[in-house]
Amino acid sequence: MRSAGHPPLPRRLERRPLYSAEVETLNEPSVDVPSSSAFAVLGIEAPILRAIADLGYEAPTPIQERTIPPLLAGRDLIGQAQTGTGKTAAFAIPMLQAIDPSRAVVQALVLTPTRELAIQVAEAIHAYSKHLGRIGVLPVYGGQPIGLQLKRLERGCRSWSARRAA
CATH number for the domain harbouring residue 29: 3.40.50.300
- Cβ(17)–Cβ(30) below 8 Å: no
- Do 71 and 124 lie in one domain? The reply is no
Do 77 and 149 lie in a common domain?
no
86 and 108 in a single domain? The answer is: no
Q: What is the reported pTM?
A: 0.70
Q: Is the same domain home to 70 and 111?
A: no
Q: Give Cα separations from 51 to 16, 21, 79, 153 (angstroms).
A: 35, 26, 23, 24
Distance separating alpha carbons of residues 103 and 106, to the nearest angstrom: 8
Domain's final residue, options 98, 126, 156: 98
Considering the domain architecture, whether residues 121 and 80 belong to the same structural domain is answered as no
Structural domain boundaries, residue 84: 1-98
Structural domains counted in the chain: 2
Together in a domain, 67 and 115: no
Q: What is the pLDDT along the chain (166 residues), one digit of tens a residue?
A: 434 444 444 443 333 333 334 333 333 334 343 445 689 999 999 999 999 999 999 999 999 999 999 999 999 988 889 999 999 999 999 999 999 888 878 888 898 999 899 999 999 999 999 999 878 888 888 888 888 877 777 776 555 555 544 4
Domain co-membership, 3 together with 80: yes
